Amino acid sequence: MPIKILMPALSPTMTEGKLARWLKGEGDQIKSGDIIAEIETDKATMEMEAVDEGTLGRILVPGGSEGVAVNTPIALLLEDGEGRDALSASAPAPAPAPVAQQPVAAPKPVVAASPAAIEKTYDKTRRMTVREALRDAMAEEMRRDGDVFLMGEEVGQYQGAYKVSQGLLDEFGPKRVIDTPITEMGFAGLGAGAAYAGLKPIVEFMTFNFAMQAVDHIINSSAKTLYMGGGQLPSSIVFRGPNGAASRVGAQHSQCYASWYAHIPGLKVVAPYSAADAKGLMKAAIRDPNPVIVLENELMYGQSFEVPDDPEFILPIGKAKIERAGSRVTVTAFSRMVGMALEAAEILAKDGIDVEVINLRSLRPLDVETLVASVKKTNRMVTLEEGWAAAGIGAEIAALMQEHAFDWLDAPVTRVCGKDVPMPYAACLEKLALPQVDDIVAAVKAVCYA
Amino acid sequence: MAITKRKTRAAGSAVDPGEMLSFYKDMLLIRRFEEKAGQLYGMGLINGFCHLYIGQEAVVVGMQATISNQRDSVITSYRDHGHMLACGMDAKGVMAELTGRIGGYSKGKGGSMHMFSREKRFYGGHGIVGAQVPLGTGLAFAHKYREDGGVCLCYLGDGAVNQGQVYESFNMASLWQLPVIYVIENNRYAMGTSIERSSAGTELFRRGSAYKIPGQAVDGMDVLAVKAAGEQAVAHARAGQGPTILEMKTYRYRGHSMSDPAKYRTKEEVAKMREQHDPIDQLRRRLLDGGLITEDGLKDIDRDVKAVVTEAADFSQTSPEPDASELMTDILIDA
C-alpha cells in the first residue's frame, strides 16, 4: 500500500501552513533525506525532507495551497515494486493516536503528616556553639558513610572561612575535605554531578550570596532531575553556608535567600537557630536522599546552646519547634530571628501578652499543621524574617493561614521583615533595615489591638 | 599527548571488520531514528523542543566504542538522542519519551532533552547549555573518588565552549587530574551563529591550553578517526593523567531545532557536507570497497535497522500517556 506523506508540523506552535511548492514531481524517485517540498510555517519557510524511500506516486495537495492542516495527506509514495495501480487502493488516513483526557486533580496544599511531635528529651546534653554543632554533625556523618565528602572554598587547610570545618581535614584527609578554587558555578555543578553518581556531597558556599553564581546547578541540575527523569536519578546533596545579613558587610553580602529556595519543588530547605537545631538538621540533611539547602547564619556561629549528647540525635526535616508556648499571639521565625522573637516575648510577657514562638526550622516543607494548630489557639499571628517582605516566607505563611485557618483569625496576619532596600553599610542604617525587637513588640501589640 | 592540530587518521588495518559493521549499523540506527523522530514531529506526535543529531552520528558511535557502559559514564546537552542510542538505551523508550508517553525513559515527564539511564550510565540530557560540563566533571570526580577505573565522556558543543562554567570545569579537572574526556562536537553553528561569529579563537581543541589540558582536532565525520582519537584520550584518563579535549569537526544537516529554517548557511554548504563527508556513506564505501560486505548485506542491515525504528515508532504511539497521578510523583524521595 502506498505510504501517505502527511503535512508536517515544523514548529512547536504550527497547526496549519502553506505548502509553498513541491521540489519533486510525480514519478520522481525519492531517497530518505531528500528535500521534497517547501512549507511555510507561522515562523519561517522550512524544507520538508522525505523520511521513506520510493517513487512519488501522486501529489494530493498542489504547491501554493494555503491553510493545509497538519497531518493532512499531501502525497502518496510508492514503495519499491509497487505500481501506480496501488494508488487507487489507498486507504483513508488513520485516526490520530488516542489521547487520554483525564481530569487533573487540583494539587492539595502540602500539609505535614503529623503536628510538631513532642520532642524527645535527652538526659545528657553538652553545651556547644552552633559552629561546633555543624562541624560535629558533618564529622559524625562522614565517619558513618564514606560517600559523604565536603567541598568548598577554604574548607580544608584554612579550616573554614568561618572555622565551621575546623579539624575535618586532619581527620578525613584531602580526598574527602576538598579545597576548591573560587569557582561557585563549577564546584556546585561538580558536586551535583558527583551526586548523580551516588556520592553524597556537602557543598559549602562561603556565603549564600555567592551561591547566586551557582543557582542554576542547585535548581536546574539538582532539584529538577529526579522529576525530569521519572524518578530515575536521585540527588543526595547538601548545599550549605551562612545566609542573610552578617554585620556591616554591605548589600552584596547581606541577603536572605530563604524564599528563593523555598519556592522550588524538588528541594528541601532548613534554617537552624540553635546548636541543637544545627546538629540535628545538618545530620538529617546529609542523610536525606534529596537535595537539601541548609541556611546557616554567621552571627549565630559563636553562640552556645545545650545539645543532646547522642550520636543518633537527628531532627526531622519538615517539623517546626514550639520554642515557647503561649496563648495570645503566635510569632513565627527562623534562624537568628528566633532569638529576637524570644526576646520580644519576654518583654511582652511583662505587659501581660503571652506569646507563642514557633521556630520553623524547615522552610520547605513548611510545618503547616503546627502553624495552623497554633493559630487556632491564639487567633493571631506575626511572621518574622530578615528577608524582604515581597514574595517572602511571611507572605507564604499568611496565605496558608487564610487558606487553612481563616475562620480562626481575629486579626490580619502581620509580617515583620527586612526593609525593602539593598542592605546599607552605615551602622545606623543597617539597624533600621533589619527587624529589631521593638518592631516585633509593636507588631504583636498591633494584632492584639493593644 | 600534546595539543595538536593534526587530524587523526585511523589506520584501516587496525579496525576489526566486525566492529566496522557494527559502527555502520549503530550510525544508521541513529540516522533512521532521527528521521523518524522528525516525521513524528511533523505529525504533531512530538512537540516542544526536538534537536536532531543527523550528520553527527560518527562522533558518538566512535567515542562509545572506546568505553564500557558498565563502568564509564556519559553526559551531554540537549542534542542527545544519538548519545542515548549509542549508550545502548532502548529505542522504544527514547521514542516514547519524545511522544510523552508512560513507556518513555522518564515516564513522559522529561521529554527530548531530559532522559537518564543509570543502568547504561547515561546521565542526561541537559537543557542548559554548558551545565553538563561541571556535571560531567563531577561524574569523573566520582570515578576517581571511588577508584573504580571509570572515565566520563562529557560532550559539549561549539556553543557551550563560550560558557564560563566550561573553564571552571577545565581548571578543576586538570588541577585534580580527573578522568574526563571533553568531546567538543563542533558542528559550526551555535543555533544560528557560526563559530566565526561567536568565537575569538576558533581552534576549540586549544581551549584547554591555559589549564594544561591536551587537545586534538579530529575529523568527526570519520568514525574510525573518532575512535582512534578517543582511544588515546581514554587511555590517558585511565592512566590517571587527567582530562583531554577532543574537538570533533562535525556537521548537522538539520536545523538547530525543528522550527529552525537554517537560513544562516547556504544549501550548497549543507549539500557539500552530505555528498562528500557523510559519515555513513563514507563507511558504507569503505565496507564495500574492502569487500567486507555486499550490497545485499547492507540491505539486510537497512532492513533490521528499519524494523527497530518502526517498532520504536509504533510503541511510542501505543504506549499510553502518563496517568494524571504521575503529576505529583518523583518530586522528592521519601527520606
| Interval B182-203 mean pLDDT | 96
Does A199 lie at the interface with B, CB-CB under 8 angstroms?
yes
Is residue B139 within 8 A of residue A194, CB to CB? The reply is yes
The amino acid sitting at A182 is: I
Give me A41's grid cell: 510555517
Q: Which of A270, A212, A267 is nearest to A240 (CA)?
A: A270
For residue A14, the model assigns a pLDDT of: 81
**A107 to B168: CB separation less than 8 angstroms, yes or no:** no
| Interval B304-308 mean pLDDT | 98
- Out of A104, A186, A196, closest to residue B165 by CB: A186
Question: Would you give the DSSP letter of residue A86?
Answer: G
Chain A from 97 to 156: CB within 8 A of any B CB: 97, 99-100, 102-105, 107, 149
Q: Smallest CA–CA separation between B76 and chain A, in Å?
A: 12
Chain A from 314 to 333: CB within 8 A of any B CB: 317
List the domain boundaries for chain B: 7-318
CA distance A399 to A109: 11
ipTM for the predicted complex: 0.94
- Out of B36, B109, B124, closest to residue A227 by CB: B109
pLDDT (tens digit per residue) in A147-164: 999 999 999 999 999 999
**Would you call A203 helix, strand, or coil by DSSP?**
strand
Q: What is the dihedral sign for C-alpha A260, A266, A272, A278?
A: negative
| Interval A51-58 mean pLDDT | 88
Spatial CB neighbours of A420, under 8 Å, sequence gap ≥ 6? A388, A389, A390
CA distance A437 to B21: 77
Q: Smallest CA–CA separation between B14 and chain A, in Å?
A: 32
- b/e B212-237 (16+ beta carbons within 10 angstroms → b): ebbbbbbbbbbbbbbbbbbbbbbebb
Give me A174's grid cell: 584531602
pTM of the model: 0.89
Residue with cell 559549602: A204
Burial of B149 (0-12, 13-18, 19+ CB in 10 A): middle
Q: Which residue of A has its CA nearest to B324?
A: A104
How does the average pLDDT of chain B come out, rounded? 95
Give me B108's grid cell: 513522559
pLDDT (tens digit per residue) in A72-95: 999 999 987 788 787 875 544 444
Q: Which of A162, A199, A372, A384 is nearest to A278 (CA)?
A: A162
- b/e A140-165 (16+ beta carbons within 10 angstroms → b): bbbeeeebbbbbbbbbbeebbbbbbb
- Out of B128, B139, B165, closest to residue A196 by CB: B139
Spatial CB neighbours of A424, under 8 Å, sequence gap ≥ 6? A250, A251, A430, A432, A433
Tell the CATH topology of B7-318.
Answer: Rossmann fold (3.40.50)
Q: What is the dihedral sign for C-alpha A304, A309, A311, A312?
A: negative
Least confident of A20-24, A237-241, A413-417, B21-25: A20-24
A111 pLDDT above the threshold of 50: no
Q: Which of A138, A140, A129 is nearest to A203 (CA)?
A: A138
**A189 to B169: CB separation less than 8 angstroms, yes or no:** yes
Q: Smallest CA–CA separation between A203 and chain B, in Å?
A: 12
**A197 to B142: CB separation less than 8 angstroms, yes or no:** yes
Q: Which of B172, B127, B74 is nearest to A185 (CA)?
A: B172
| Interval B160-169 mean pLDDT | 98
Is residue B185 within 8 A of residue B59, CB to CB? The reply is yes
Active site residue A263: no
Assign A98 a pLDDT band (cuts: 50, 70, 90).
very low
| Interval A171-193 mean pLDDT | 98
**A180 to B172: CB separation less than 8 angstroms, yes or no:** yes
Cα angle A149-A155-A161, degrees, rounded to a multiple of 5? 150
| Interval B57-70 mean pLDDT | 97
Among residues A38, A253, A263, A404, which one is catalytic?
Answer: A253
Residues of chain A with pLDDT > 90: what percent?
A: 80
Give me B122's grid cell: 547515561
Assign B2 a pLDDT band (cuts: 50, 70, 90).
low
**Would you call A361 helix, strand, or coil by DSSP?**
coil
CA distance A279 to A140: 10
Active site residue A153: no
CA distance B72 to B180: 10
A220 pLDDT above the threshold of 80: yes
| Interval B154-178 mean pLDDT | 98
**B321 to A99: CB separation less than 8 angstroms, yes or no:** yes
- Out of A44, A194, A287, closest to residue B141 by CB: A194
Q: What is the dihedral sign for C-alpha B55, B56, B60, B62?
A: positive
| Interval B294-309 mean pLDDT | 97
Cβ neighbours of A42 in B, within 8 Å = none
pLDDT (tens digit per residue) in A12-53: 778 888 999 999 999 999 887 788 999 987 778 888 888 888
A115 pLDDT above the threshold of 70: no
Residues of chain B with pLDDT > 90: what percent?
A: 92
* Residue A248 neighbours by CB distance under 10 Å: 13
Cβ neighbours of B316 in A, within 8 Å = none
Residue A39 is inside which H or E element, if any?
A: strand A35-40
Does A290 lie at the interface with B, CB-CB under 8 angstroms?
yes
- Give chain B's radius of gyration (CA, Å): 19
**B47 to A234: CB separation less than 8 angstroms, yes or no:** no
Among residues A184, A296, A369, A396, which one is catalytic?
Answer: A184
The amino acid sitting at B207 is: R
- Out of B142, B259, B321, closest to residue A10 by CB: B259
What is the phi/psi pair of residue B184, to 5°?
-85, 115
Spatial CB neighbours of A8, under 8 Å, sequence gap ≥ 6? A39, A48, A70, B39, B41, B42, B43
Is residue B19 within 8 A of residue B275, CB to CB? The reply is no
**Would you call A151 helix, strand, or coil by DSSP?**
strand
pLDDT (tens digit per residue) in A348-377: 999 999 999 999 999 999 999 999 999 999
Cβ neighbours of B48 in A, within 8 Å = 12
How does the average pLDDT of chain A come out, rounded? 92
A110 pLDDT above the threshold of 80: no
Q: Smallest CA–CA separation between B13 and chain A, in Å?
A: 32
Q: Which of B280, B218, B274, B314 is nearest to B26 (CA)?
A: B280
Cα angle B50-B54-B58, degrees, rounded to a multiple of 5? 130
Chain A from 382 to 401: CB within 8 A of any B CB: none
- Out of A51, A102, A266, closest to residue B324 by CB: A102
CA distance B212 to A43: 45
**B75 to A186: CB separation less than 8 angstroms, yes or no:** no
Give me the torsion for CA of A161, A164, A166, A170, rounded to 10°: -100
Q: Which of B183, B244, B181 is nearest to B215 (CA)?
A: B244
Q: Which of A350, A348, A373, A342 is nearest to A447 (CA)?
A: A348
The amino acid sitting at B199 is: S
For residue A90, the model assigns a pLDDT of: 53
Question: Would you give the DSSP letter of residue A53?
Answer: -
Q: Which residue of A has its CA nearest to B42?
A: A8
CA distance A241 to A237: 13
